[in-house]
Amino acid sequence: MHLFKHWKKDLPASLVVFFVALPLCLGIALASGAPPFAGLIAGLVGGILVGYLSGSHIGVSGPAAGLVVIVLNAITDLGSYELFLTSVILAGIIQILLGVFRAGVIGYYFPSAVIKGMLCAIGIMIFIQQIPLALGFSGQVNTDRIDLGNLHDHITPGAIMITLVSLAILLLWDGVLTKKNKLFKLVPAPLIAVIVGIIIYLIVGSSGVLALHESQLVNVPIPKDVSSFFGQFTLPDFSSLTNSSVYVTAFTIAIVASLETLLSVEATDKLDPLKRQTPTNRELIAQGIGNSVAGLIGGIPVTQVIVRSSANVMSGGVSKLSAILHGLFLLLSVIAIPTLLNLIPQAVLASVLLVIGYKLANPKSFVQMYKLGRAQFIPFIVTVIGIVATDLLKGIVIGLTVGLIVVLLKSYYNSHHMLIKEFNGKKNLFHINFAEEVTFINKGPIMKELNALEGDSFLELDFRKTKVLDYDILEYLDEFSIKAKNNNINIKLIAEKETLENPDSFRKYFGHQVFQLEH
């Protein structure tokens, strides 16, 4: 019964996620070169099975746009979809092993700035990708190569009207009406937008100035009977398990899907108002089981997806019940009401995603990151630009690289602090306080500081706060002590236990101290 504790919030949220997931499942499958029903299978498995097994409270799984290119190339290279399904099953097994051997900690090593940049970038991409559908772009839309300059040739007045009406409903419902009357919170705004969109389509029909074409509506496969429904499931081909390409594809899918899941987990946990933490190893196991089952019945790979997860959070979802219900709604819809679903204008769903995209990439986020300083803003903005300009994984790698450089530069200059004091009427006493960790990265600035000292001066090296002292630093200090004697520089070593005047060997001294020497 604990699963249904927050059903009043999870039920409306699950409807929103369902309406977001439905077109994404179909669109990602088509873009991947897979049967449309394969995307729905992935949505069902990701929602019901992974949703139940996962330790995430608000994460939602399903087919991911980040795997489109990999899936498309794999199906082409392997030569058959059935053989590709075998790779998906093996990828799931690999993910299970990753979870068992606790590889989920990888997600903890991604900087907050990179994760926030990923969220904003995904928001921007969602927003941009929905513009053609919102304006009535007819036919299949390649969201990776949208030519905004030619949109005027495809604009449909009816789609624009539905988009404007839907946006008005979404913004007024959540921003105004729910504040005036709590009853409005019982019904999700996207559901109202969908109902109104269907009514408008039934009124304007498929002829006239405001007409909508079939390509501008949701397209769910309609089975004629039970046998035709189950005939849409595809079984894997296990006859080519000796084919090395199958294992290469499986390994690629497992690694990329796991990385996308862990990044989504980090991002989703940050969106969670209750700040709950998802057990990452359990998540990898759940995703692995989900992929193995999806591959077994004909589905494309699944990951935890930030688009559905963020829609869940922003719609008030509290527990995993929302993810499970959205999967059940997908199942019921393709069985019971495929004809009704095919009356939904894509412009309505585009409007829902436009609002979600704007919330993820809110301009306030950029201002807040800028105020945090360059160390946070630079990796953040580089990640945003990298993902938008290339793709999700490449952008994250670029952001991580820049973030690492920023950290190294910060560490480079923060190893020590020099104070200049007066001694015998002269400012020739130099006191250097060293940080807790002094590594080979800090050797450059330390050398520059000490080499600049003039002769006939006094130097105090204070290591009382230092816990980690790299061997490279000790080696240089030994070399400098010889130079100091030749230049009449008197060195005083101040450590945790004692003070030593003019140490002959720093390495010999620290060798007897409680220091973690990194050789």
| Global confidence as pTM | 0.70
The backbone torsions φ and ψ at residue 470, rounded to the nearest 5 degrees and listed phi first, read: -70, 145
Helix H or strand E segment including 127? helix 112-135
Long-range contacts, stretch 4-11, CB < 8 angstroms, 24+ apart: 4/321, 5/319, 6/318, 6/319, 6/321, 7/321, 9/316, 9/317, 9/318, 9/322, 10/317, 10/318, 10/319, 10/321, 10/322, 10/325, 11/321, 11/322, 11/325
Integer-rounded Cα radius of gyration of the chain: 30
**Other Cβ atoms within 10 Å of 158 Cβ, number:** 23
Spatial CA neighbour of 353 closest among 11, 17, 10, 12: 17
- Per-residue pLDDT of the chain (519 residues), as tens digits, is 477 888 888 998 898 899 888 878 887 887 788 888 899 999 999 999 999 999 999 999 999 876 877 888 889 889 899 999 999 999 999 999 999 999 888 777 778 888 888 878 878 887 887 888 888 875 444 444 445 555 555 678 889 999 999 999 988 887 777 677 766 666 777 778 888 999 999 988 777 788 888 888 877 778 777 777 777 888 998 988 888 999 999 998 998 889 889 988 988 988 888 889 899 999 999 999 999 999 999 999 999 988 889 889 988 899 999 999 999 999 998 888 888 878 888 888 888 878 878 888 889 999 999 998 888 999 999 999 998 888 777 888 899 899 888 877 777 777 777 888 766 666 678 888 888 788 888 888 888 888 888 888 888 888 888 888 888 888 888 888 888 888 888 888 888 766 777 777 787 777 655 444 443
Q: Which two tokens stand for residue 95?
A: 């993910």
* Contact status, residue 324 vs residue 59, Cβ threshold 8 Å: no
Start-to-end Cα distance in the chain: 56
Q: Give CA–CA dist 62/93, Å, rounded.
A: 17
Architecture of domain 414-518: 2-Layer Sandwich (3.30)
CA dihedral over 326, 331, 333, 334, signed as positive or negative: positive
Q: Where are the domains of the chain?
A: 2-66+102-235+304-361, 364-413, 414-518
- DSSP3 helix / strand / coil % (the chain, rounded to 5): 65, 10, 25
Strands (E), 260-330: 302-304
> What is the DSSP annotation of 310-365?
HHHHHTT--STHHHHHHHHHHHHHHHH-HHHHTTSBHHHHHHHHHHHHHHHT-HHH
